[in-house]
Amino acid sequence: MLVGGCDIGSTTGKAVVLNEKSIVSQYIVSSTTRPEETARQAMDAALELAGIASIDDLAYVVGTGYGRTKVPFANENISEITCHGRGAHWLDPEVRTVVDIGGQDCKVVSIDSRGKTVEFVMNDRCAAGTGRFFEAMARVLDCGLEGISSLENQGPNPCTITNQCSVFAESEVVTLINEGTELPDLIAGINLSVANRLFSMVKRVGLVEKLALTGGCSKNQGLAKALEKKLGVEVTTLPEDPQVAGALGAALIAKERAAA
C-alpha cells in the first residue's frame, strides 16, 4: 500500500510517498503563487521518483501546511502542528519537543511517546524568528542564507539585536554595519536573537528532551548551536531531511486512514 503526504508552506512545498514501512520518495519545490500548483509540482516529482504513474495509485493523501486546504488531490487536510509532531516522532521516537521554523511562522510542539500533540505555542503574527526574517537579514548582509547558517561564520562576540519586529531589526542591523560591527558577530547575533525568541516559546510549552528542529530553518546550523546554548540541551539530528517532517507526518496519518 502506498500513501502520500503534501505540506504546502509559504516558501516551499513538500511531498512524501510512504509504503507500509519506509519513505519511498520525497521532494521539495519552491512555492508558486498558487498553492494548488505547488502541491501538484511537489507530488508529481515525488511520484516520478517513486516510479508511480499516477496519483490514483496512492491509497490515501493528506494535505497539511499553510496551503493545506488548497491541495486538490488530498482526501483530507490536517494541521501542520499535528503533522510535524508525528513526522519528528517517526524519525526519532525519543523526541518530545519539536520546534518547527517555517517561512512565515514558528511553532513549538510538545508531543508524547506516541507522537501525539500535548501542547503547543505558535507565532504567526510577526515574521521575527522565521524564514522571512533570515531572508531579510541575508539580503542586508549580502551573505546568502548559507552564510548565516554556516558554523564557520559564527563570530565569538554576537552583537545584541533588541528589536523583535523584522522591519526594525533590519534597521538595527544596518546601523550595526555602519558602526563597524564585524560580519561574523552580526551573523552570530542574528541567530542568537532568533534563539532568544524560541527560548521563550519553548519555556512556555515546557522543555522535555529530546528536542528536534523541523521546517526549512532547521538546516541553519548557527541557529541550532545558539539554541543549544540558550536551552542547555543538544538539538537532535533527525535521520531524514527535517524540512519534510510535516509531509511525512501527513503521510503517516494517511497510512492510518487507508488501513482503517
Q: What is the CATH number of the domain that holds 188?
A: 3.30.420.40
Query: Residues 221, 244: one domain?
Result: no
Task: Give the residue numbers spanning the domain of 29.
Answer: 1-92+240-260
Give 168's pLDDT tier (boundaries 50, 70, 90). confident
Is residue 148 within 8 Å of residue 112, measured between CB atoms?
no
Query: Residues 250, 195: one domain?
Result: no
Instruction: Tell me what pLDDT residue 225 has.
Output: 96
Instruction: Tell me what pLDDT residue 128 has.
Output: 65
CA nearest 208: which of 86, 108, 105, 129? Answer: 108
Query: Residues 47, 171: one domain?
Result: no
Query: Residues 196, 254: one domain?
Result: no
Number of domains in the chain: 2
Mean pLDDT of the chain: 94
Query: Residues 105, 173: one domain?
Result: yes
102-105-110 Cα angle (round to 5): 85
Mean pLDDT confidence for 60-88: 97
Q: Bigger pLDDT: 163 or 94?
A: 94
Return contacts of 159-166, CB within 8 angstroms, 24+ apart. 159/185, 159/186, 159/188, 159/189, 160/189, 161/189, 161/190, 161/192, 161/193, 164/126, 164/128, 164/197, 165/126, 165/128, 166/126, 166/127, 166/128, 166/132, 166/133, 166/136
Query: Residues 231, 253: one domain?
Result: no
Query: Residues 134, 76: one domain?
Result: no
Query: Residues 47, 14: one domain?
Result: yes
pTM of the model as a whole = 0.94
Query: Residues 60, 78: one domain?
Result: yes
Instruction: Tell me what pLDDT residue 130 has.
Output: 81
Query: Residues 116, 231: one domain?
Result: yes
Query: Residues 154, 115: one domain?
Result: yes
> What does each C-alpha distance from 204 to 207, 228, 243 come to in angstroms?
8, 17, 24
Query: Residues 127, 180: one domain?
Result: yes
Mean pLDDT confidence for 38-50: 98
Give 163's pLDDT tier (boundaries 50, 70, 90). confident
Mean pLDDT confidence for 103-108: 89
